[in-house]
Every structure is written in structure tokens, then in C-alpha cells.
Amino acid sequence: MLTIDGAFGEGGGQIVRSSLCLAAITGRPVTIFNIRANRKNPGLAAQHLTAVRAAAMICDADLRGDELGSSILTFAPQAAAIPGDYLFDVAEAREGGSAGATSLVLQTVLLPLALAAGPSRVTVLGGTHVAWSPPFHYLRDVFLPTLARLGVRAGLDLAAWGWYPAGQGEVTLSLPGGDSLSAANWPKSLRRGKLQRITGVAVAANLPAHIAQRIRNRAANLLDAAGLPHQLEPRRVRSVSPGAGIFLAAEYEHSRAGFSALGAKGKPSEVVAQEAVDALLAFQRSGAVVDVHLADQLLLPLALAGAQTTLAIERVSEHTRTNLAVVEQFLGPVARISGNRLEFMAGRGVGSKQ
């Protein structure tokens, strides 16, 4: 039984998600205590509790502490990941519902099911574009295409948009299964190459169409001023809760990066666009290969693939440092941080077919 302190480092929900994912893949039982101790409302929130129960379901785990607000959890897998059709609803984890992030639930079960023997289809109901989590478009346009280079095949579809506070969005992840994480096509020193294009969508949900158009126009003007190629689309969509935002993907010769900003009551459309574009321009100037969020999300798959590679990161976050510490409790030393570089050491990938 591995024991992990949930208050370590950044002390957030990523410690729980990474631990569950690695436990499901390695079969190693784990106890996590002080869960989300560094948060305003510590313990398991609705999205974390949904991820816990989802991970338990796919590997028939013995589970203790799976309650809203729980600060300690014991998770003991009883089987390798079981392929199949799954439905998880974040709203069921809390009375009155929740707009908890669907992307964070998917993060927990994606790799175990990708490595499972057969196909899986995972539908998650909840927030699809909410604060403090990767939006649907980031997973589809940045994370999954990058993960494909390590041998993971996955498709992601959006059936309904979910915004705070009601959520009720719907996302479906499709996995053929039988994949093997491999770093064979991953270079020892990843370079991003030239910027090929910037794509994006400016969205207004249950709001006047001119809001999406204003967000799109401001973003386009800023990118034009910077001399960067782009293709941006304004969209008006339906959802249970109103919402607005912009979601940008920068595609380089050898890598991708994503940037987004969400609207809020009283926040001008032009400010929403400015936030996302400013983040993109800062990344462009940095010369980094992966953005701060992708570095964090690639830690597990690169370590499981036994990669020997160096990533030039826009900025090493406390989130990334904490996630690395969790991964190494399961797998031993896999990487080191040197300045704004993440250097992976070659190893025997747990997620590879040996």
C-alpha cells in the first residue's frame, strides 16, 4: 500500500487524479490523506468524487472514503482496466448538482482504458468549459493530438456545452483500446518548429450573437497586429447556463499549444479576447515547445512510455513539480527539472507492451 500526502506541494486535486490513474495501470493500492488540504474547501469535491468512482469502476477497485468532503481515500484495484461503455455524471456527486469539470474525470480514466484489451466509450456529464480545468477544446485540439505521438488513439466529441453554475454539458471519449505507450516516435529533444496556423472559436451560449463576434474580432485584430496566421470562428450555441469564452490552438511544425479565456458578468468581450491572445503571444515569444498546462499533462504518459526526452517548458508550475513527485512515488525517478526544462530519463515504460 502506497501512502501519499495530499497536502504535498500544490496540494490540489491533481494528486488524487494522478494517483488513481497510476494505481489503475500498475495495480498498486494507494491511500491518499490530507486530500486537497491547501484548498479553501478541502476534501473531495464533486468532480474529484466522480473521478474516484469512475476509476474504481473501471478496475473493480476496493474503495474507502469515497464521500463528498472526504480527506482520506483508500483505493485498491482488483483487476486490470476493464473496457466497456461508461457513463459518469458529476451532478450526481452533490445534492443540487455541480458544474464540475468533465475533463478532469476523463484525465483519470483515459490512459488505463487506452491500454485496456478492448474498446471503450466514456461519456461524462458536467462542466465542459469551466474555470481551473482544461476546456473540451484543449483536450481535443492540443492534448489528444500530442498523445497520439505516443501511440494513444482517442476521439473526443462534444454533445452539449456545460458552463458554470449548472453544467449539464456532455462529452464522449472513444478509445479503440489495445494501445501501447511508446516513445519510439518521440524525439530526444522536441522542437516546436515554425508556427503553421492558429485556429479557434469564440463562443456565446444563451447570449446575444454579437458577443461571440466581438470576442472573435478583437482576437483577430490582435493576431493580425502580431502578424500571425489565424482562422477564428464566432459561434452562438445553446446550453443550460449562459456562458462565453474563446479557445485558441496554436499548431507548430512539431508541437501544439492551447490558450483560453472565459467570460464573466461585467467582463467586456474585448477583455476576454485579450486574455487569451496575450497568453498565446507570450508563449510565442518564449520559444518554449509546450505550454505550462501541456507539460503537466504529459508527465504521466511520457513517464509510462519510458521516454528519454527534454521538453522546453514555457514555465514550470508548482502543479508540474507536485505531479512529478506523485509519479515518482509510483514509478521511481523518471525526470528532473532544470530551469524551464523537463528532462526525462529513459526507463522501462509501465504502459508499454514488453
- Catalytically annotated residues: 319
Write the DSSP symbol of residue 142.
Answer: I
Find all residues with CB under 8 Å of 138, minimum gap 6, and list them: 103, 247, 249, 258, 260, 293
Q: Cα torsion at 322, 326, 328, 329 (round to 10°)?
A: 140
- CA 227, distance to chain mean position in Å, is 30
Q: Which spans in 27-90 are helix H?
A: 46-58
Angle at 84 between CA 83 and CA 86, to 5 degrees: 120
Residue 301's nearest CA partner among 171, 155, 145, 158 is: 145
Q: Cα torsion at 317, 323, 325, 327 (round to 10°)?
A: -150
Return the SS3 of 307.
Answer: coil
Angle at 122 between CA 234 and CA 254, to 5 degrees: 55
Q: How far apart are CA 23 and CA 335, in angstroms?
A: 19
